[in-house]
Structure 1
Amino acid sequence: MYSLFTSISARRRAAIAATAALAATLLAIQLVGPASAATKHRNRHGGPVASRRGSARGLGQLSGLLPRNKLTLESAIQVNLSNETVRLPLYPGDAPVPGHPGQTEHVWYVLLDASDVGLAKDLGVNYAPKLANIAISDPAAVQTVTLDSPTPAQNRFGPALVHFQGAPDFSPTRSAVPGPTGFPLKSFSPGAVAGAGYSPFIKIAGSEVVYNAPIVATGDGPFDVVHHTNTGDRVLNVHIAPPAPQGQYFDNYADLLFVKGFDAGQPIVYLSTDAGQPLTAVLERSTYVPALNDAAYNGGDDFLGSARERLFGFINGQTGGDNPQAQGFQHLVLDGHASQDASLSNTALINALRHGGDLLNVFGDFPTLADPRHADAYSPLW
C-alpha cells in the first residue's frame, strides 16, 4: 500500500507495482516506436529523434488531434493533444443524492469498457474480460443498475435512462499540499468521494456483463469545470445537446483530462476516473471509491480470479520541468502542478502535463490494436 513509499531510499530510483485499486481506461496508443521516459525516442527509420526541450523523452505527438487509427476506444469523439483532453459521449442517468436519502438527481456518465467482446465492439469501448471477476471477493465493487423502459413516443432514438444505486459527491475541495521534497505530500484530501452504493463498475439487472461506466458530473448545470463542485476533477468541458429531431440523436459529450504513460515500449494515453485509496484519488484527480480497494486482488494480474492489471509507478525518479528523464511521484508534485485545479484556463498546468509532467506510469497489458494476447489480458482496474 502507499505507506511503503516513505520506506524507499531517496537516493535511488525505485519502481513499484501499484497496490491501490485504480480505474484507468486506455484511450490510445501513440505508436512511435520504442519509448519510455528513460530511453531514447526513435523514428520509423531507426534513427534517434532529438527530444523537444522541456519534454520527457518518447512522448510522441504533442499537439493537434491524434489520428483515429491510433485510438483503442473507438467511441471517443477525439483526442486533443494540444489541451490534453479526450472528448467522450456523455449519457444520462439518475441516482440518490449523496447524504440525502429519498432525493434523486440527474447524473452523467461515460462508457469505457465491457466484459463481453461483442458488446464492447458494438458500443465502441475496450474489451476487458477480467471485469467478469471483479465481484469475486468484493461484491460492493459492482453496482447493479436498472434501465428505463420508455415507450416509442418517449424515446424515438437514443439511450435509455440508467438508474444508479449511488453517485459520487463532487462537492469536496481537492487538496494536495507538497511535502518538503514534494512527495510524500504534507496533506491531501480527495475532491470527489463515492456516495453509498456507488461504483463505476455496473451490471444491468438481468445481465452478468460488467461495464465501466463512471459518473463524471451531477445535476442539471451549469457545470463547474474550473473548481469541480459538481464534476469530476478531470472534467474540463461539458456539452448537453439540444433535443434532436425525430429519428436523430445528438451527442452530449464531455472533455476529460487524460494521462500520459508507457506500455510495451510505446507511449500511451489513458483516463483515470476512480481509485480505492484517498492518496491515489488525489494524485490521479479521481473519485475516491473505497469499495474498489478490495477488488480481486492485489498482486493477481494474470492469475485465476483476478480482475486487475499491473502498473508500475516511480516514487523518486528524476525531477525538473526541463529534464527529459523526469518521471514519477515527486516529478508530478514538483513539476506537474499537482496542487492546482485542472481547467482549460489553467494553461500552465496543461502545458506542463503536455510536455511530460504526468506520473508517466508504466503499464502491463493493454487493449493493443495488434496483439490479441495483450488485449485479452487487459483490465481498467490496476
Structure 2
Amino acid sequence: MYTNRWLHSALKVVQTISTTIAATLVLPLAALAESGPGPGPLGSGPGCNFFPASASIGTRVDQTYFGPPPTDPSLVGPVQTLRSGTVSFDRNSFPGTVTLPLYKGYLKSGETVWYVITDTDDEANAEALGFNFSSKLSYSTPGARTGNFNSQGEIIFDQGKVDFSPERQVQPGSKERPFPVASAQPGSVGDKDYSPLVRILNSGGRVYNAPIVAFNVPADKINFPQGNPNYKLVHDEVVAIDTEKMTVTLNLVNGFSFGRPVWYVSMDSSDPTVAAIEGATSAPALQKIEVGGDDSFSSAVERIFIAINGPSQNGCKNPQRQGLYAALTDGYRPNNVLGGIPTIANDYSPLWDINLYEWTQDAVNNGDRTQLREEFHILGLVESGFLTGPNGSEFGSTGIINNCPIVFRLL
C-alpha cells in the first residue's frame, strides 16, 4: 500500500507521544462525572489508536522508498476532509485535535453566539471555504434554526440558546452491563429551539452546520488559548479557545468508514443521554428530522453503527476493543462505524442516525465477537443472526441523531 513522507513523519510523532497521551488523557470510570473532552484519538494501545502503521513494515526497504499516494483521495489517504482547520499531531500543541475558525454572531434578542462551521449544502461555498459538502443537508430544514446575515456578515440567529453551565455526569449501569446507563446529565443543554443547523434566509436558504461552542458570554471570559477552559462556559469538546485569534481547538474521535480509520468531532445529539455519553450538546430541535431512511430520497441522515457489547476486556490493550461497554468501562471512545463520508461516497451527512447493535449470547459464547469496521459487514451479520438490536430486539434506527462532522481520513 502506498503512503507518503508526511504520514511517516506524523507516525514518528505519534509513536513518541502515545505513552504521554495515555498518562495525561486516560479517563477512568469514576471520572465520567467530569466535564471536558476526555481522551483523544491517540490512545495507549491498538484498541484506542488507529493511526496507520508504516507501509515499510514487512518489506526489505526503508519507508523513504515508498512513493507518494495517488492524487485521487478516494483511493488512499491520508486526506483531510474539513479543510478549514488544522489537525495537530504535535505533542506540544494538543495532539489529536482540530483547530477551526471561531465565528461570532448574535441571537436576534441580543445574546452573543460563538460557533464553528463544519458542513453545508452549498457545494461552491464548501469548496471555497474548506467545509464538508453534504447535499443531504438540503433535507434537514425541519430541524434547522433560521437566521440572516447582517451588514457586517455576521449571522443573526432567530432562535436557539445553549446553557453550558451543567456539570456533565454519566453513571454506568451494572459492572456486567454498564449500558444502559443508570443516569446521565449532558454538560451543555440547548433549549427546545436549538439545533446546530442554521438556514440562512437572505443567502439562498442554504443550510450550514454551525454548532454553538459558547453562548451569551464576553470574549475575555472564554479566552483560553493555552487550554484548560472553563467548561461551565464552553462546549465539553473544546480543548482550547482563542478569542483574539478567533480559533477554537476541538477534541477528535476515532471511528471507521468502509474499513478505513477516520477522525471526527462529536458536537450535538438529539438525545440528552447520548449527549452526556458523547460530551456533546443536547439539541432537541434535531428530533424534528426524519430518521430511518438512510440513502432514500429526501433523507437528511446517514447511518452510524454503535456496538453495545463489543469486546471490552483489557481496554485499550485489546486490538478488538469496541462498543459502549468498553467506553463506559475504560473511558475511551467506542470506535463506531460510520457510513459514507467525503472522499468515499456522495451520501455523506454530518447527521448520523444511530443504529445500535448487540452481539447475541450464542455469538459471544462461540467466540465470534470481534471488532467491526464496515457497514455492510455489520448488516450481513445482522442478516445472519449474529447481531440484533438492544436486548434481542429488531435491528434498526434508534430514532436518535448525532451531529458528528468528519475531519480526517487516515487511510
Shorter-chain-normalised TM-score: which range? 0.5 to 0.7
Residue 117 (structure 1) aligned with residue 123 (structure 2):
yes
- Give the SS at the match of 1:310: strand
Matches within 5 A, 1:1-382: 54-56=45-47, 59-61=50-52, 70-80=79-89, 82=91, 83-95=95-107, 104-135=110-141, 139=142, 141-150=143-152, 160-164=153-157, 165-181=159-175, 182-206=178-202, 207-218=204-215, 219-220=217-218, 221-223=220-222, 225-226=228-229, 228-241=231-244, 251-296=245-290, 298-319=291-312, 320-321=314-315, 322-336=317-331, 357-368=332-343, 371=344, 374=345, 376-382=346-352
Distance 1:266 1:120, change over 3 A: same
Deviates more, 1:217-226 or 1:284-293: 217-226
The CA distance in 1 between the partners of 2:119 and 2:111, in whole Å, is 25
The CA distance in 1 between the partners of 2:107 and 2:161, in whole Å, is 6
Matching residue of 2:355: none
Runs (5+) with no aligned partner, structure 2: 1-5, 9-42, 54-68, 70-76, 353-411
The CA distance in 2 between the partners of 1:197 and 1:238, in whole Å, is 26
TM-score, length basis structure 2:
0.63
Shift of 1:78: 2.5
Is contact 2:191–2:284 with CA below 8 Å preserved after alignment? no
Is contact 2:311–2:320 with CA below 8 Å preserved after alignment? yes
- Cα deviation 1:259-306 (Å, max 9, x = unaligned): 11001111000011111011111111111011112312x221110110
Is contact 1:31–1:70 with CA below 8 Å preserved after alignment? no
Shift of 1:81: 7.0
- Cα deviation 1:328-347 (Å, max 9, x = unaligned): 101111112xxxxxxxxxxx
- Give the SS at the match of 1:131: helix
Give the residue type in structure 2 aligned to 1:145.
G
- Give the SS at the match of 1:166: coil
The CA distance in 2 between the partners of 1:215 and 1:279, in whole Å, is 19
Is contact 1:191–1:285 with CA below 8 Å preserved after alignment? yes
The CA distance in 1 between the partners of 2:339 and 2:164, in whole Å, is 30
Q: Which has the higher contact order (CA 8 A, sep 6+)?
A: 1
- Give the SS at the match of 1:188: strand
Higher helix fraction: Structure 1 or Structure 2? 2
Shift of 1:149: 0.5
The CA distance in 2 between the partners of 1:227 and 1:56, in whole Å, is 30
The CA distance in 2 between the partners of 1:362 and 1:31, in whole Å, is 23
Ranges of 4+ aligned residues in structure 1 off by more than 6 Å? none
Shift of 1:58: 7.1
Shift of 1:239: 0.5
The CA distance in 2 between the partners of 1:204 and 1:54, in whole Å, is 44
Shift of 1:57: 7.5
Shift of 1:107: 1.9
- Give the SS at the match of 1:107: strand
Shift of 1:226: 4.7
Matching residue of 1:42: none
Is contact 1:272–1:285 with CA below 8 Å preserved after alignment? yes
Shift of 1:222: 2.2
Shift of 1:196: 4.6
Runs (5+) with no aligned partner, structure 1: 1-29, 33-51, 97-101, 151-159, 242-250, 337-356
